[in-house]
Amino acid sequence: MKSLSQRGQAMPSSPIRKLVPFADQAKAAGKHVYHLNIGQPDIKTPDSFMNPIKNLDMPVLEYGPSAGLTSLRKKMVEYYQRFDIDVDYEDILITTGGSEAIIFTLMAICDPGDEVIIPEPFYTNYNGFALEAGVNIVPITSGIEDNFQLPPIASLKEKITDKTRAIMICNPNNPTGYVYSKKEMLALRDIAQRHDLFLLSDEVYREFLYDGETHTSVMHLEGIDDRTIMLDSVSKRYSACGARIGMIVTKNRSVINAALKFGMARLCPPTIEQIGTEAGIDTPQSYFDEVINEYVERRNVMVAALKEMPGVVVPMPKGAFYLVVKLPVKDADAFARWLLTDFDVNNETVMVAPANGFYSTPGLGKDEVRIAYVLNVEDIRKAMHILAEGLKAYPGRIQ
Amino acid sequence: MKSLSQRGQAMPSSPIRKLVPFADQAKAAGKHVYHLNIGQPDIKTPDSFMNPIKNLDMPVLEYGPSAGLTSLRKKMVEYYQRFDIDVDYEDILITTGGSEAIIFTLMAICDPGDEVIIPEPFYTNYNGFALEAGVNIVPITSGIEDNFQLPPIASLKEKITDKTRAIMICNPNNPTGYVYSKKEMLALRDIAQRHDLFLLSDEVYREFLYDGETHTSVMHLEGIDDRTIMLDSVSKRYSACGARIGMIVTKNRSVINAALKFGMARLCPPTIEQIGTEAGIDTPQSYFDEVINEYVERRNVMVAALKEMPGVVVPMPKGAFYLVVKLPVKDADAFARWLLTDFDVNNETVMVAPANGFYSTPGLGKDEVRIAYVLNVEDIRKAMHILAEGLKAYPGRIQ
């Protein structure tokens, strides 16, 4: 058999995926598995998004423009205005999912061997995108004991080398649910400016803010328009993960133009989902109010249940729909597997995502898991009961 | 303004795109432009493809599997059987367009700095994909005087170095319309085997075969299953260019698994268009018969008209819907621009693609253009009349 590339071999498998065969086994054995491991919401995609797709009158499903449908880009301007983000449609490039937005941005601003500083834990797929772009991720560690706030700027400064091209955050954060404060955003602005860096912000969870939390977008920062790049996606906003529509937003037209050249090579993002997205922007606020209320209740039920569990450390997430918790176990990976293979309550169990895969520094997060609150409240109650019982019964539990 | 990556700067703009501003100017001035420059067919997308999209009953537009919908992969097995291509559904990876199929394949088999040998002229976007993957394209030149057949194997052998990982062809060929013979395919098999190379074949124009031409797929070659990778797309087959659904097909499961890791990072291809594609596979043969008849007539009308033009060299294309012709001009790029800016017949003109962008060797193809026969016969007649008059009137014409 012919050998493959080192790049292909180095490409990381998601730590969540590693557990999938065990979940499949559990299901094959008749066990019900509550999936707290993935960010697939159960929320209905709004009719506003789906209706124009069902009513499609398009004799030829043609190539769209490489930058995305102009009508969608213009409609996105209106959408961003609702968040006091003032951009022109030419500041917006439509991509095939947030994934492509990140890859195109990394390729536009970094050459192979360049470095991007990212607070860890971070969304695991950043590792894959970085590897594809030949970029090295340099982590700065946020601690669970600090509620995953931005690490001290001093520790960030230490990581800056002549290879550093950008700082990248996810805000609201996946996996921690942390929402960066205005003060933290201003500190990031200052350091980006002082050290001549780009500042990238993945803001796909913009709508998912709780307890009156306010969101400071990277696009709100003044005086660094040529450095700030916002990465976006409709996957979570409209519960349209299968649509694969994302955005790069920046006032630095050189970045847009460079990213567009990568976009031209792949011709265009999918047309039909762009049509859904454009119409989805008119989804009534009541849809989001309901969704947010639902997530707040889910989060509250989950956090309350977790806090009842002895030895579990639970930071309060303020956004997105994940939280990272510390468990009284030595190896959360083994525990997550054990829940699938060796444990059940009335033939039901739970699947959680071991958090070590969200850290870049080896050894970190070994006793942490990411839990998504994407199930209904009733299922969350049941899942939390199972997790509590599992922790009691687990032979590897730290006393 | 912050500087961008060298990679972004090096990323090639399509030679066709460079003319777009001139076409826009012509249109703004009220001129009608016949587009012979792009591969966007005017053929109706079949109802079989669009109907299930219109009848979509999917409360949540969820993530699909990273490898593509299993039902689509299984249906593709049935599709390929019609072409005597015998594969298992696990030999098929669904990608976001043929573009992604090529990028994932290059990244799975090549490391940065590796080389892939491709007969030129070739589809210009291969340059962009290669740059993204850090791969160097090494061209071997097919000549218009030889009807763009495979260059002598000896010239191919000369190009093989210790960096060479693969030979890649497009068959039927874009931009030349050439269809590789069984003998040529066997020669490619032998050299791939002897020199331990992968053999990649972009076969998106499989259906577009004329004059009883037969197609030898790379998947028909015996004895090199671990080296052959077929790249596919539904864009042209179902006139669904905006769908962005492609495929990697290979019996080398290590390649599938490596490509799948890149696929996992980007989560999944667009769901709705996969549903259309799956249903599209049941498009009745009569649809394709009609389409092929239409293209044969278009080609015949176009080739006959071109042959009437003094000094024009016209190889007969046997597949796809392009041809590359040699014009009696020194600089086809300048001529194509002139047609847009300085020429019209009754306020109408034509847009063609200068062929130099399809060659990797500098200086080649300067007197050639690619012409797509994607307009109806009446429009092709008009467009050919304009081209003929343009060649007569062009000040830069070679006598």
Q: Which domains does chain A have, with CATH numbers?
A: 6-44+286-393 (3.90.1150.10), 47-280 (3.40.640.10)
Q: Say which range, B10-19, B277-286, B344-353, has the weakest mean pLDDT.
A: B10-19
Q: What percent of chain B has a predicted confidence (pLDDT) above 90?
A: 95
B105 pLDDT higher than 80: yes
- Would you state the pLDDT for residue A12? 84
**Distance between B55 CA and the closest CA of chain A, angstroms:** 6
**Chain A residues closer than 8 Å to B199 by CB:** none
Q: Which of B14, B58, B111 sits opposite A264 (nearest CB)?
A: B14
Interchain contact, B198 vs A2, CB within 8 Å: yes
Q: Which is nearest to B190 in space by CA: B154, B161, B148, B163?
A: B154
The three-state DSSP-derived secondary structure of chain A is CCCCCHHHHHCCCCCCHHHHHHHHHHHHCCCEEEECCCCCCCCCCCHHHHHHHHCCCCCCCCCCCCCCCHHHHHHHHHHHHCCCCCCCHHHEEEECHHHHHHHHHHHHHCCCCCEEEEEECCCCHHHHHHHHHCCEEEEEECCHHHCCCCCCHHHHHHHCCCCEEEEEEECCCCCCCCCCCHHHHHHHHHHHHHCCCEEEEECCCCCCECCCCCCCCHHHCCCCCCCEEEEEECCCCCCCCCCCCEEEECCCHHHHHHHHHHHHHCCCCCHHHHHHHHHHCCCCHHHHHHHHHHHHHHHHHHHHHHHHCCCCECCCCCECCEEEEECCECCHHHHHHHHHHCCCECCEEEECEEHHHHCCCCCCCCCEEEEECCCCHHHHHHHHHHHHHHHHHCCCECC
Enumerate residues 263 to 282 of chain A having a beta carbon within 8 A of any beta carbon in chain B.
264-273, 276
Q: Which is nearest to A112 in space by CA: B5, B89, B122?
A: B5
- Would you state the pLDDT for residue A13? 76
Contacting residues for A26 by C-beta, under 8 A, at least 6 apart: A33, A340, A341, A349
B2 pLDDT higher than 90: no
Enumerate residues 56 to 95 of chain B having a beta carbon within 8 A of any beta carbon in chain A.
56, 58-64
B14 pLDDT higher than 80: no
Q: What percent of chain B has a predicted confidence (pLDDT) above 70?
A: 99
Enumerate residues 326 to 365 of chain A having a beta carbon within 8 A of any beta carbon in chain B.
none
Residue-wise pLDDT for A334-348, tens only, equals 999 999 999 999 999
Q: Which of B2, B129, B244 sits opposite A269 (nearest CB)?
A: B244
Instruction: Provide mean pLDDT across the span B339-347.
Output: 97
Q: Are B273 and A56 in contact, with CB atoms under 8 Å apart?
A: no
Is residue B29 packed enough to be buried (19+ CB in 10 Å), middle (13-18) or exposed (0-12)? exposed
Q: Which of A1, A42, A134 sits opposite B112 (nearest CB)?
A: A134
Provide the token pair at A153.
Answer: 């700027």
* Buried/exposed code over A113-138 (b: 16+ C-beta within 10 A; e: otherwise): ebbbbbbbbbbbbbbbbbbbbbbbbb
Under the banding of pLDDT at 50, 70 and 90, the label for residue A16 is confident
Under the banding of pLDDT at 50, 70 and 90, the label for residue B1 is low
Q: Which is nearest to A37 in space by CA: A277, A280, A340, A395?
A: A340
- Would you state the pLDDT for residue B12? 84
Interface test with A, best of B110, B261, B277 (most A CBs within 10 A): B261
**Cα torsion angle, B146, B151, B154, B155, sign:** positive
Instruction: Provide mean pLDDT across the span A37-49.
Output: 91
**Distance between A23 CA and the closest CA of chain B, angstroms:** 15
Is the reported ipTM for this assembly greater than 0.85? yes
A17 pLDDT higher than 90: no
| Cβ of residue B296 closer than 8 Å to a chain A Cβ | no
- Please tell me which residue of chain B has the smallest CA distance to A199: B2
Residue-wise pLDDT for A89-107, tens only, equals 999 999 999 999 999 999 9
CA distances from A119 to A47, A101, A152, A158, A247 (A): 37, 19, 11, 13, 22
Q: Which is nearest to B303 in space by CA: B398, B389, B381?
A: B381
- Please tell me which residue of chain A has the smallest CA distance to B242: A63
Identify residue B193 by its one-letter amino acid code: Q
Q: Which is nearest to A95 in space by CA: A275, A282, A270?
A: A270
- Please tell me which residue of chain A has the smallest CA distance to B114: A5
Interchain contact, A5 vs B134, CB within 8 Å: no
Q: Which is nearest to A231 in space by CA: A321, A103, A135, A101?
A: A101
**Distance between A342 CA and the closest CA of chain B, angstroms:** 27
Provide the token pair at A1.
Answer: 């058999």
Q: What is the DSSP letter of B226?
A: T
- Would you state the pLDDT for residue A392? 97
Count of other CB atoms within 10 angstroms of residue A257 = 17
Q: Which is nearest to B370 in space by CA: B24, B120, B21?
A: B120
- Would you state the pLDDT for residue A1? 58
- Would you state the pLDDT for residue A185? 98
Helix (H) or strand (E) holding B97: helix B97-109
Q: Which residue has the tokens 């892939």?
A: B116
Q: How many CA atoms lie within 13 A of A265 on its CB side?
A: 26
Under the banding of pLDDT at 50, 70 and 90, the label for residue A41 is confident
Rounded Cα–Cα distance for residues A68 and A347 (Å): 48
Q: What percent of chain A has a predicted confidence (pLDDT) above 90?
A: 94
Contacting residues for B192 by C-beta, under 8 A, at least 6 apart: B167, B198, B199, B224, B227, B228
Interchain contact, A100 vs B1, CB within 8 Å: no
Q: Which residue has the tokens 């301007």?
A: A77
| Cβ of residue A211 closer than 8 Å to a chain B Cβ | no
Interchain contact, B7 vs A111, CB within 8 Å: yes
Question: What is chain A's length?
Answer: 399
Long-range contacts of B354-358 (CB under 8 A, 24+ apart): B354/B15, B354/B19, B355/B121, B355/B175, B355/B324, B356/B15, B356/B332, B357/B14, B357/B15, B357/B16, B357/B124, B358/B15, B358/B120, B358/B121, B358/B122, B358/B123, B358/B124, B358/B175, B358/B324
A2 pLDDT higher than 90: no
Instruction: Provide mean pLDDT across the span A254-258.
Output: 96
**Chain B residues closer than 8 Å to A194 by CB:** none
Residue-wise pLDDT for B213-261, tens only, equals 999 999 999 999 999 999 999 999 999 999 999 999 999 999 999 999 9
Interchain contact, B61 vs A45, CB within 8 Å: yes
**Distance between B71 CA and the closest CA of chain A, angstroms:** 16
Mean pLDDT estimate for chain A: 96
Residue-wise pLDDT for A257-312, tens only, equals 999 999 999 999 999 999 999 999 999 999 999 999 999 999 999 999 999 999 99
Enumerate residues 213 to 232 of chain B having a beta carbon within 8 A of any beta carbon in chain A.
226-227
Residue-wise pLDDT for B54-70, tens only, equals 999 999 999 999 999 99
**Chain A residues closer than 8 Å to B272 by CB:** 53, 242-243, 270, 272-273, 276
**Chain A residues closer than 8 Å to B107 by CB:** 5, 7-8, 132
Residue-wise pLDDT for A133-183, tens only, equals 999 999 999 999 999 999 999 999 999 999 999 999 999 999 999 999 999
Under the banding of pLDDT at 50, 70 and 90, the label for residue B44 is very high
Instruction: Provide mean pLDDT across the span B44-50.
Output: 97
- Would you state the pLDDT for residue B399? 73
Name the pairing type of β-strands B368-372 and B353-354: antiparallel
Instruction: Provide mean pLDDT across the span B329-343.
Output: 97
Mean pLDDT estimate for chain B: 96
Rounded Cα–Cα distance for residues A42 and A379 (Å): 12
The helix/strand count (H/E) of chain B reads as: 13, 12
- Please tell me which residue of chain B has the smallest CA distance to A228: B2
- Would you state the pLDDT for residue A269? 98
| Beta bridge pairs of residue A233 | A246
- Please tell me which residue of chain B has the smallest CA distance to A130: B265
Under the banding of pLDDT at 50, 70 and 90, the label for residue B38 is confident
Q: Which of A45, A63, A108 sits opposite B59 (nearest CB)?
A: A45
| Cβ of residue A252 closer than 8 Å to a chain B Cβ | yes
- Would you state the pLDDT for residue A40? 83
